[in-house]
Amino acid sequence: MENIRYTFGDIESGMGFIAEGLSLSERDTDLMELLLNAIYDRSESADITLDEVISNHYSGTPAEVRSWWTNWS
């Protein structure tokens, strides 16, 4: 698997495949999307913060988006 490159679309497609195949909840899918957005943004800028990733991709504030997983059980 040396030097294999994947596009953002490839990774996004894989995420959707897993989310659908496992019938994930909206909360689980949101977390996977946040992870995907963080991977993409960090590949562009290694020093970006999570709050900046959230601000780049979500209309809510970082605190609001973080609250989606507060007390998650």
Average pLDDT score over residue span 27-55: 94
Share of the chain above pLDDT 70, in %: 95
CA angle 64, 42, 35 (to 5 degrees): 50
Q: What is the pLDDT of residues 11-31, one digit of tens each?
A: 899 999 999 999 999 989 999
User: Does the pLDDT of residue 36 top 90, yes or no?
Assistant: yes
Predicted local confidence at residue 73, as pLDDT: 59
Average pLDDT score over residue span 29-57: 95
Please tell me whether the overall predicted TM-score, pTM, comes out greater than 0.85 for this model.
Answer: no
Share of the chain above pLDDT 90, in %: 70
CB < 8 Å & 24+ apart, contacts of 8-16: 8/36, 8/40, 11/36, 11/39, 12/36
- SS3 letters for the chain? CCCCCCCHHHHHHHHHHHHHHCCCCHHHHHHHHHHHHHHHHHHHCCCCCHHHHHHHHCCCCHHHHHHCCCCCC
